[in-house]
Structure 1
Amino acid sequence: MKNTPLNYELRLIAFIDILGFKEIVKQSEIDSSKIELIYSVLEYLKDWEKSEKWDLKFVEIEESAQYKDLSNFDLRGKTNTTSFSDSIVVSIQVDQNINEMASTLIVNLAYIGTVLLEKGILFRGGLTLGNIIHIDNGTVFGQGLIDAFMLETRSAKYPRIVLSDKLLKELNYPLERKRNRYPYHQYLDRFDDGCVGFHQLIYYQVIESWTEMTPELLTEPISKVRKVIINGLDSSFEKPEVFEKFKWLKEQYNKLLILSDFDFETKTEEHIKQKIRELNEGISGQNIHYSYTDKLFENRSKDKK
């Protein structure tokens, strides 16, 4: 038993849940590759229990952070993370630097989202501000955790992380001047259902503008997630709730602002992000697979070359 008194702390709290985890476990009984997938994902999330993982490498290259004191963005030594089964809880000590703390947390969570998505894993979550007790050995409880969990369960719905109204009131909105911008402003959006948050693909849109990013570095991961989405659409014939999530993710993918790469020598334009087309788009027929339409357009493109 712990001898020192316990007290609630006001913290930033994220509750993240892997979607379809039960189905993946079920499949693993007949498909050993799913066992490897489950293990690699859980080990990856477990690794984020180390406080030093939440460093500045994804924030310090943001222009809106470079003009501020970068030390205020550092989460190391202020972060507690607990992963269990298909969920992960992250909480961070905050004081007057909530905009900086939220920035580093959101940027890192967005990065984690892309790593999981490239493995074919969808996630969703809730991010709030609340009272919590979160001990290094993994013990975690409090109203803040309940609020984050309920936000994930009731509001997130799709592969995204939704922010609570309580947290949004503490962030730097309305954004009236460029100098008041923080890194999280590039990630957050207000979706059609009114929720504010960031989806599992937004990291690619943000890093596209980083000076060290090249088309070659972006093309492969964008191609991977595109295939994940198409495969998800075509493997959910009896699961409308799963199809709905992949359809929503397809729409977010198609909205991503990622520029084409123009080769001045050959005077040709290579599209880093290929559109995910609708069923039977430009085709006379009643096919039921998104992959069929995709393959048809791919072959047409090859024939033109």
Structure 2
Amino acid sequence: MTTTKLKYEQRIVAFIDILGFKEIVKQSEKDTAKIELLFSVLEYIKDWETSEKWNLKFVEIEEDAQKKGVDKFDIRGKTNSTSFSDSIVVSVKTDNNINEMTSTLIVNLAYIGSVLMEQGILIRGGITIGDIIHNEKGTVFGQGLIEAYMLEAKSAIYPRIILSDKLIKELNYPLEQKKNRYPYHQYIDRFEDGCVGFHQMNYYQVIDSWTEMTIEKMTSSLSNVRKVIIQGLDISFESPEIFKKYIWLKEQYEKLIILSDYDFNTRQPIGIKATIRELFSHNIHFSNADKYNDRK
């Protein structure tokens, strides 16, 4: 047992949970494809336990970061990550640069979310700032972790990651001038129920102007997301709570502002048409109705 005197650190803390994990495990007993999916997803999350993974790839392309100095946004060496079962805890030292540290954390979490969603995996989480002990061996505990967990369990509700009021008060709000903007400002928004955060599809909207995100890549990714949402809508006949989550995702998907789209004239996002059910009111399957979607 260590004799080193321990003390809490104030860190930005994120608790992320995979939704429907128990059901996927149950399905995997009869479906080998589900076993492979589970294994690949958990291995992917496990990879993020390395501090170097939390890099600047998606921050350094942001004009807001470039103007302030990209090096200030580097959280490598300041980040600890622990994954267990269907959850992951990430904490970052603030070093008095809370806006920069929060930016890089959110940008990377948004990317992770997009990767998982294209595989049909939904996540939910909470981010706060609080006292925590979190070391490179994976040991983690503290009030900051409890608060992040409670945000995920009690307030997030839908497949999204929300921010605590405590953290929001530390960030650069109200935002009065564009020059005071940080990368996280492009990711987070206030939802209809008052919560502030981002979902797994925000990544596509922000990254749309990145030169490496070709029209082909964006089209393929959004097509995959679309299929995941439609499939989710069609497997929830006896699960109204699950259905609500996918309806919520469908609504968020339709709100995406994607410029590199199929339609260069209207410059509209792909979206799942809100009129599908109205056009085919006797068709209870979204997938069948979608076959007649002229913007598929």
Q: TM-score band, normalised by the shorter chain?
A: over 0.9
Aligned position for 2:157: 157
| 1:165-189 CA-partner distances (Å, limit 9, x unpaired) | 0000000001111110000000010
Give 2:52's aligned amino acid.
E
Give the greater-gyration-radius structure (CA): 1
Instruction: Please show how residues 236-255 of structure 1 align to structure 2 within 5 Å.
Output: 236-255=236-255
| 1:155-214 CA-partner distances (Å, limit 9, x unpaired) | 111111000000000000011111100000000100000000001110000011224432
Counterpart Cα distance in 1 of 2:145 and 2:271: 38
1:286 equivalent to 2:275? Answer no
Counterpart Cα distance in 2 of 1:175 and 1:72: 20
Q: CA deviation at 1:270?
A: 9.2
Counterpart Cα distance in 2 of 1:209 and 1:3: 52
Q: Secondary structure at the match of 2:56?
A: coil
Residue range with higher mean Cα deviation, 210-219 or 251-260: 210-219
Structure 1, gaps ≥5 residues long? none
Q: CA deviation at 1:285?
A: 4.1
> Does the aligned pair in 2 maintain the 1:14–1:148 contact within 8 Å?
yes
Counterpart Cα distance in 2 of 1:253 and 1:9: 38
Structure 2, gaps ≥5 residues long? none
Q: CA deviation at 1:240?
A: 0.9
Q: CA deviation at 1:275?
A: 2.4
| 1:81-109 CA-partner distances (Å, limit 9, x unpaired) | 00000000000111210000000000000
Give 2:96's aligned amino acid.
Q
Counterpart Cα distance in 1 of 2:178 and 2:100: 15
Residue range with higher mean Cα deviation, 280-289 or 124-133: 280-289
Aligned position for 1:83: 83
Aligned position for 1:52: 52
Runs of 4+ in 1 over 3 A off after TM superposition: 260-263, 268-273, 278-282
Aligned position for 1:99: 99
Counterpart Cα distance in 1 of 2:281 and 2:6: 66
Counterpart Cα distance in 2 of 1:159 and 1:271: 27
| 1:208-239 CA-partner distances (Å, limit 9, x unpaired) | 12244321221100100000000000011111
Instruction: Please show how residues 129-168 of structure 1 align to structure 2 within 5 Å.
Output: 129-168=129-168
Aligned position for 1:30: 30
> Does the aligned pair in 2 maintain the 1:15–1:152 contact within 8 Å?
yes
| 1:239-263 CA-partner distances (Å, limit 9, x unpaired) | 1111111110000000000125589
> Does the aligned pair in 1 maintain the 2:81–2:138 contact within 8 Å?
yes
Q: Secondary structure at the match of 2:68?
A: coil
Q: Secondary structure at the match of 1:197?
A: strand
Give 2:270's aligned amino acid.
Q
Counterpart Cα distance in 2 of 1:17 and 1:207: 24
| 1:47-89 CA-partner distances (Å, limit 9, x unpaired) | 0000000010110000000001211100110000000000000
Counterpart Cα distance in 2 of 1:262 and 1:285: 27
Q: CA deviation at 1:297?
A: 2.0
Counterpart Cα distance in 1 of 2:280 and 2:213: 40
Counterpart Cα distance in 2 of 1:279 and 1:121: 26
Q: Secondary structure at the match of 1:16?
A: strand
Number of residue pairs matched? 296
Aligned position for 1:225: 225
Counterpart Cα distance in 2 of 1:97 and 1:275: 37
Counterpart Cα distance in 1 of 2:113 and 2:243: 19
Q: TM-score, normalised by structure 1?
A: 0.93
Q: CA deviation at 1:284?
A: 5.1
Aligned position for 1:296: 292
> Does the aligned pair in 2 maintain the 1:132–1:145 contact within 8 Å?
yes
Counterpart Cα distance in 2 of 1:32 and 1:273: 35
Counterpart Cα distance in 1 of 2:159 and 2:132: 25
> Does the aligned pair in 1 maintain the 2:207–2:213 contact within 8 Å?
yes
Kindly report the root-mean-square deviation, in angstroms, between the aligned alpha carbons of the 2 structures: 1.8
